[in-house]
Amino acid sequence: MLLLQALPKTFSNNVKKKLPENVTLKGPSGVLWNIGLKTKDDTVYFVDGWERFVKDHSLKENDFLLFKYNGESLFEVFIFDGE
C-alpha cells in the first residue's frame, strides 16, 4: 500500500511556500478527503489521510493519477487504471 505520495519536485518547488499544512483531495466521485502535507529533504508528500484515499479508491501499482490544483488547497484527482 502507498503510505506516502511525493508531489513532483517541479510542482512543489514552485508552490511549497504557499501550500497549507492540510489540503483537500476531490476524488472522481466528488467525495472530499482531508490530507496532510509533510516536507522532508525538500520534497513535499501527501501523508495523513493519503492511505485512506488509496484504500477507498482501490489504487494499485501502475494506476495513473492526474492532480489538478486550484491554487489554494484543493486538488481534483483523476484516476486512470494502469492495466
What's 22's domain CATH number?
2.40.330.10
Q: How far apart are CA 46 and CA 70, in angstroms?
A: 16
Q: Give the dihedral of Cα atoms 4, 20, 41, 53; nearest 10 deg.
A: 0
- Pull the grid cell for residue 80: 486512470
pLDDT: which is higher, 72 or 16: 72
Specify the pLDDT at position 4: 74
Specify the pLDDT at position 14: 83
If one counts the domains in the chain, the total is 1
Specify the pLDDT at position 49: 93
Range of the domain at 75: 5-80
Give 14-65 pLDDT, tens digit per residue.
Answer: 886 788 999 999 999 999 999 999 988 888 999 999 999 999 999 998 999 9
Q: How far apart are CA 23 and CA 73, in angstroms?
A: 5
> How many other β-carbons are positioned within 10 Å of the β-carbon of residue 12?
18
> How many other β-carbons are positioned within 10 Å of the β-carbon of residue 37?
19
Specify the pLDDT at position 63: 93
Reported as a pLDDT band with limits 50, 70 and 90, residue 71 is: confident
